[in-house]
Structure formats: C-alpha cells, structure tokens
Chains A and B, each alone.
Chain A
Amino acid sequence: NAGVTQTPKFRILKIGQSMTLQCTQDMNHNYMYWYRQDPGMGLKLIYYSVGAGITDKGEVPNGYNVSRSTTEDFPLRLELAAPSQTSVYFCASSPGLAGVGAYEQYFGPGTRLTVT
C-alpha cells in the first residue's frame, strides 16, 4: 500500500492564480481531510469528507473548494491564490467506522505552497 499520496510536493503561485492539490489514498478509507499547517499554529482543518459525494467545511474553508467523486481521491482547489494561503497542506484519511482504529488519521507527505 502506498497509503496517502499528495502531488505536487512544492509549488509557487502568483497572486490570483488557481491550482488543484491532489490527494489519493489506497486504503479504502471512508473519511478524508485537508489541513493546513502554519508555523507554531498546529494543524487547521480546511475541509473533510465522510464518503464519496459528501463534503463539509472545517475550521478555515474560505478560499478553498473540494470534491469527492471517488473513495480514493479528494482534491483541494484554490481559486484565487492569496499570500495568506502560503502554507504546508496535508491530506489525511481515516477508516471512519466504529471499532479500534476508527479515529486514527493517516497523513500524506504534504504540499509546500508559496503564494507571491
């Protein structure tokens, strides 16, 4: 199993540009998440999904959009990039079923995004 994979690893965007951060998991997990990590701030939840076709906002959703057309993929879209979106973005997944391990999250390696 590859686990959770993210592309690209690094990206530099100009203000106002758009891009999609890709996330794929091969563990057949129901739940998927997008976080951003800023220095000294821990992780903030952007969006999450409890299954294909279902998404919901997290703590900091403004400026982002998501979709979940399959169990495996959960892309994050930035429409009009702003300097405040400079961050490291992590995708994660979890089984989302009752029982041991249900609440564990498995993280991808992250995408380092700079907006200038």
Chain B
Amino acid sequence: GQNIDQPTEMTATEGAIVQINCTYQTSGFNGLFWYQQHAGEAPTFLSYNVLDGLEEKGRFSSFLSRSKGYSYLLLKELQMKDSASYLCAVMDSNYQLIWGAGTKLIIKP
C-alpha cells in the first residue's frame, strides 16, 4: 500500500527553528509537496521537490532524499503566524497525490 508518515503534533518556540519530517512509501514518485493549512482554512502551497536536495524559500526550506523516501520542511525564525498544520503529499506514478495526515505545529511565545 501507499503510505505517508509525519508526526501528529510538534511544539516550538517563537524565534526558533523547527524541522518537520515526512517519510513515504508510494507506487512511483513524481514529486513531493508541502502545504500549510491554518485552522478552518484551505491548504496553501509551500514547496515542491522532485530532485534530491534542499530548496530554500525565505524562512522555509524543504529537503528531499528519494533513495530514503524522506523529506523535511525546515522553518526558521518562527513566528506566531506559523502555527498551523503542515501537510506532506507525494505524487505517485499515476500522478495522483497521496496525502499525509498533517503535522500540527504549535508555536509558544
């Protein structure tokens, strides 16, 4: 079967750095996405990785290792507005998105 695993919940301090991990087992691979979802709102696109390595976008970076079936989202200089759920999704060989259940990130002052 296809599976995406990510921690259910994480807590971090304002101004700090947090890494949210995602491991996957899918039928083929055509890219990995990270989305941010604030409570009661729609998911919004953060990043896309299809090749191994690190993609940086401001305070957010996403890393991919295809051989390990592993990705992480790194958030730097955490702000209170970063409190949200972070969803990992993998596009499989049929170009279907397989979604993780999401990681709820709680930021404390």
A binds B: no
Give the B-binding residues of A (Cβ under 8 A).
none
Give the A-binding residues of B (Cβ under 8 A).
none
